Structure 1
């Protein structure tokens, strides 16, 4: 199994477990900058050098050795499950991806046909009922996660706890898990703990958002997308995310965490 989704600076100053839709583009660029004094030119997800990634075969033994001996400071970042699944819908389902095509090729036609979802036409810019389509997408996301039908769940909407747990189960330990919603505080705490070749000023770092502009703008407040049934589905999919990462299930309109993450609890509950 190893350590899927794990990135490490070339200098081995820090190790990061990527959780999709949780500021991973910005975090990756900060890591790259801290080693090289410049940002990667392009989407950091496309970088095949200048940084170690589990997806790069040559990096795997280095990452494995580091993680298993806990040589470097290790962290990850989480996000409110309500806003994360909404972001996935607008970016991955409604949006045109950076290659000019729909995400995962035949996925959107399948959703249109089987779940009656609308996505704003061929270019994602047409008008459609965002709330009705999102709720149908949520049903599809639940089906993929609970029943693996009509396909395996996608990393962008599978539960954060699942991503976070693979690192622990295979022998890693986190020093910090912080909130996307309190990004500067969390990333600042990480940077204080590690030695970097190039100082990072978080106030001057642009937010790298690889999904920005891919899809239509969200027209309504977050809470409008989640009726009683939607919230039931969200709880079914993301119960552990709400509990472990201290987000407010009862109020979809409150994106901020309502407690502090207990690292010991996370390691105990996700280390099975």
Structure 2
């Protein structure tokens, strides 16, 4: 299986497990900058050089050797399940992607037909009942994750713990897991532990939110999108995320973690 989702600087200063919708664009640009002294011109996900990625065949050897010998500091970044699934809905379901088309072709028409999801018209800018449509999308997301129908789960709403676990199961070990909600503190903690060709001042780093502006603006507070049934579905889907990464399942309005991540627990429970 190897190490899917792993990015590593060319200098091998740091290894990072990408988790979609968890500040991955900003982290990738920080890694790129730390090696080259400049940012990648474009979406870092499109970069084919300047950064080792498992998806690139020429990177697989260096990544495998590094991870198996734990040569470099390894980390990942996680996010509150409530805000992550909500972000996925507005970006991937309601939004027009950077190629000018809907995400995954016929996915949105299928959601509209099978689940009654509205997305704001052709351009995503028309008014629609965001809360009702999101809750219907949540049923679809649950069906894909629990029952793998009407399709396999998408990486943008499959559980964070699932992404994080592939690294552990294949022999990797994390030195740190940071929270998107406390990004500056967490990322600074990573930078303090590694030596990079170019120093990084986090205060000067822009936030590379490549999904921003794709879809309609969220009109309501996070908690308004989750009634009792929605909260039950989110817990059913993301139980392990809440437990391992210490988020508050009882209060969707509290996006902050409520405890410290226990790396030993993470490795033990995700290494099976």
Q: Give me the TM-score of the superposition, normalised by structure 1.
A: 1.00
RMSD: 0.3
- SS of alignment partner, residue 15 of structure 2: strand
Matches of 2:254 and 2:123, distance apart in 1: 31
1:47 paired residue number: 47
Matches of 1:78 and 1:235, distance apart in 2: 16
Superposition deviation, residue 163 in structure 1:
0.3
Matches of 1:144 and 1:225, distance apart in 2: 20
- SS of alignment partner, residue 192 of structure 2: helix
Matched, 1:259 2:259: yes
Superposition deviation, residue 232 in structure 1:
0.7
Matched, 1:174 2:174: yes
Superposition deviation, residue 247 in structure 1:
0.2
Matches of 1:195 and 1:204, distance apart in 2: 18
Aligned length: 272
Matches within 5 A, 1:169-248: 169-248=169-248
2:116 paired residue number: 116
1:12 paired residue number: 12
Superposition deviation, residue 206 in structure 1:
0.3
Matches of 1:155 and 1:197, distance apart in 2: 32
Matches of 1:126 and 1:199, distance apart in 2: 45
1:131 paired residue number: 131
Matches of 2:220 and 2:51, distance apart in 1: 39
Matches of 2:73 and 2:187, distance apart in 1: 12
Matches of 2:178 and 2:41, distance apart in 1: 26
Q: Give me the TM-score of the superposition, normalised by structure 2.
A: 1.00
Matches of 1:218 and 1:259, distance apart in 2: 28
2:165 paired residue number: 165
Matches of 1:170 and 1:269, distance apart in 2: 14
Structure 1 portions without partners, runs of 5+: none
Matches of 1:235 and 1:82, distance apart in 2: 9
Matched, 1:61 2:61: yes
Superposition deviation, residue 181 in structure 1:
0.4
Structure 2 portions without partners, runs of 5+: none
> Runs in 1 of length 4+ with deviation above 4 angstroms?
none
1:73 paired residue number: 73
